[in-house]
Chain A
Amino acid sequence: MNSNKSLEILVGLFVSISIAALFFMALQVSHFNGLQSADSYEITAQFENISGLKNKALISMAGVPIGRVSDIQFNPEDYNALVTLQIEAQYNTLPSDTSASILTAGLLGEKYIGLTAGGLDEYLQAGDQIELTQSSLVLEQLISQFLFNKSDD
């Protein structure tokens, strides 16, 4: 009976350490946010070129993450990219002339969308579209522009 008890204690210890490892993984490693309320609203933006922007990319304003990209689609009418931005519901006071640009974190980092607030008093509602957008910089285009300018001199 006694050995049975110590055996059970060891098994219990093993299982609880493993569950602790799961919590460590969820909280420290992966920034688990399944428990937070997922209240958010969606707005869209059209970009001429999104090269490298991925689904779930960050949307930040003043450097603070306020949402994620939830969908990227090609718009066959205007030949540009239609990006759906999912903004957390608490940030519902973005001016309607907010501008969006695709930026890169660091030199080789991930692409993200940076929002810059405008000055109007009206706010963006769910389903609205951001009119002012700036595409991501494509290195090859920059270089070729630079070379063409050089050759003109």
Chain B
Amino acid sequence: MNFLQSIGQISLNSLAKCGRASIFLYHVLQSFSYLLTRPHLVIKQLFSVGVLSFWLIVISGLFVGMVLGLQGVYTLSTFGAESSLGIMVAASLVRELGPVISALLFAGRAGSALTAEIGLMKTTEQLAGMEMMAIDPLKYIMAPRFLAGFISLPLLALLFSSFGILGGHLAGVELLGVDTGSYWSQMQASIDFYDDIVNGIIKSLIFAALITWIALFEGYDAIPTSEGISRATTRTVVNSAFVILFFDFLLTALMFGSH
């Protein structure tokens, strides 16, 4: 009986949480019009969410690309196909690694910071104070952060992929001597702008919405104690990672499954 009860409790709790999260998202999306007259709120968040993640993304992208280049040359040279290195590096970065790894890094770097910030605001009753002053925290705090996350992750994913391709060039062409002409020309011949790059951007837009939604809601829904904030921050990173990888599978099956 106790076992059944705990199953029921967990399901009801998670269902209630989904409901709260959906209502939260609805209110945040509704308050976007508030930002039209106050773009400086978004710019400030773009700085803390996007610009501060810049070096992390660029350096990780460069190294992931270099690893792909090295490993690609070793694997492809067994088939005598080093000249296809460009395709391998670019296709895996643009379609999968760029959106996914930058989303995971973004969840760790920006998502956890958002949760902790908002959780602390709630704990120190800043959110309640704003409500007292007739400032809606959903409009003033949540909406600009949501929009900033939604804008910056696709840009960061583009940077990740670009620097990854340059890193692959560095490792494969400069270090291991693959021909630079075949690196670029084979890449251009097989990467399609709409099929590969635009689909990659759509992927990272979806990841961005999911991560910022999870991060903001976990902060907003956190138990207002120091332990509650720490748990909420952990949940943000863990749940984001789950959701990113699961949705990546779904989106890949939808976008690239047919060919």
Q: B162 near A30 (CB under 8 angstroms)?
A: no
Q: Which residues of A contact B54 (CB under 8 A)?
A: 14
Residues of A with C-beta under 8 A to B50: 11, 14
Q: Mark B19-38, 1 if CB is under 8 A from A, else 0.
A: 00000000000000000000
Is there an interface contact between B193 and A30, defined as CB atoms closer than 8 Å?
A: yes
Residue in B closest to A14 when the chains form the complex, CB atoms: B51
By the criterion CB–CB under 8 Å, are A31 and B189 in contact?
yes
Name the one of A14, A26, A29 contacting B90, with C-beta atoms under 8 angstroms.
A29
The residue that B188 contacts in the complex, of A8, A17, A29, A54, with Cβ under 8 A, is: A29
**For the complex, what is the distance from the CA of A11 to the CA of B156, rounded to whole Å?**
13
User: Is A7 located at the chain interface by the 8 A CB criterion?
Assistant: yes
Give bound CA distance, A19 to B151, whole Å.
Answer: 12
A49 to chain B, nearest CB (A): 21
Chain A residues closer than 8 Å to B158, beta-carbon distance: 18, 21-22, 25
Chain B's interface: helix, strand, loop or mixed, by majority? helix
Separation of A21 and B161 alpha carbons in the complex (Å) = 9
- Per-residue CB proximity of B187-199 to A under 8 Å, as 1/0? 1110111101100
Least Cβ–Cβ distance between A10 and chain B, in angstroms: 5
Residues B155 and A7 in contact, CB atoms below 8 Å apart: no
**What residue in chain B is nearest A105 (Cβ atoms)?**
B189
Interface membership of B44, Cβ < 8 A? yes
Closest beta carbon of chain A to B45's beta carbon, Å: 10
Q: Does A15 contact B (CB under 8 A)?
A: yes
The A contact surface, by secondary structure, is helix
Pair A31/B46 contact, Cβ less than 8 Å: no
Query: Chain B residues with Cβ under 8 A from A74's Cβ?
Result: none
- By the criterion CB–CB under 8 Å, are A30 and B43 in contact? no
Residues of B within 8 A of A11 (CB): 43, 46-47, 50-51
Least CB separation from A55: chain B residue = B259
A32 contacts B by Cβ under 8 Å:
yes
Smallest CB gap from A8: residue in B: B43
Question: Which residues 1-36 in A have Cβ within 8 Å of B in the complex?
Answer: 4, 7-8, 10-11, 13-15, 17-19, 21-22, 24-26, 28-32, 34
Residues of B within 8 A of A120 (CB): none
**CB-CB < 8 A to A14: which residues of B?**
46, 50-51, 54, 152, 155
Chain B proximity of A21: nearest CB distance (Å):
4
Inter-chain residue pair count (beta carbon < 8 A): 71
Please, which residue of chain A has its CB at the minimum distance from the CB of B152?
Answer: A14
A105–chain B nearest beta-carbon distance, Å: 9
Chain B's nearest CB lies how many Å from the CB of A4? 8
Provide the bound-state CA to CA distance between A29 and B197, in Å: 9
Most buried by B among A18, A19, A32: A18
Are A30 and B192 CB-contacts (below 8 A) given A7-B43, A108-B81?
yes
Q: Which residues of A sit under 8 angstroms from B40, Cβ to Cβ?
A: 4
Contacts known (A11-B50, A14-B51); A21 close to B81, Cβ less than 8 A = no
| With known contacts A7-B47, A14-B46, A29–B156 Cβ distance under 8 A | no
**30 interchain pairs, CB-CB under 8 A:** A4-B40, A7-B44, A10-B47, A11-B43, A11-B47, A11-B51, A13-B51, A14-B50, A14-B54, A14-B152, A14-B155, A15-B46, A15-B155, A18-B155, A18-B158, A19-B155, A21-B162, A25-B162, A25-B193, A26-B193, A28-B188, A29-B90, A29-B94, A29-B165, A30-B187, A30-B193, A30-B197, A31-B189, A31-B191, A31-B193
Chain A interface (Cβ < 8 Å from any Cβ of B): 4, 7-8, 10-11, 13-15, 17-19, 21-22, 24-26, 28-32, 34, 54, 56, 108
- Given contacts A10-B47, A10-B51, A11-B43, 13 further A-B pairs with CB under 8 A are A11-B47, A14-B51, A15-B46, A18-B158, A25-B94, A26-B197, A29-B94, A29-B191, A30-B191, A30-B197, A31-B193, A56-B192, A108-B81
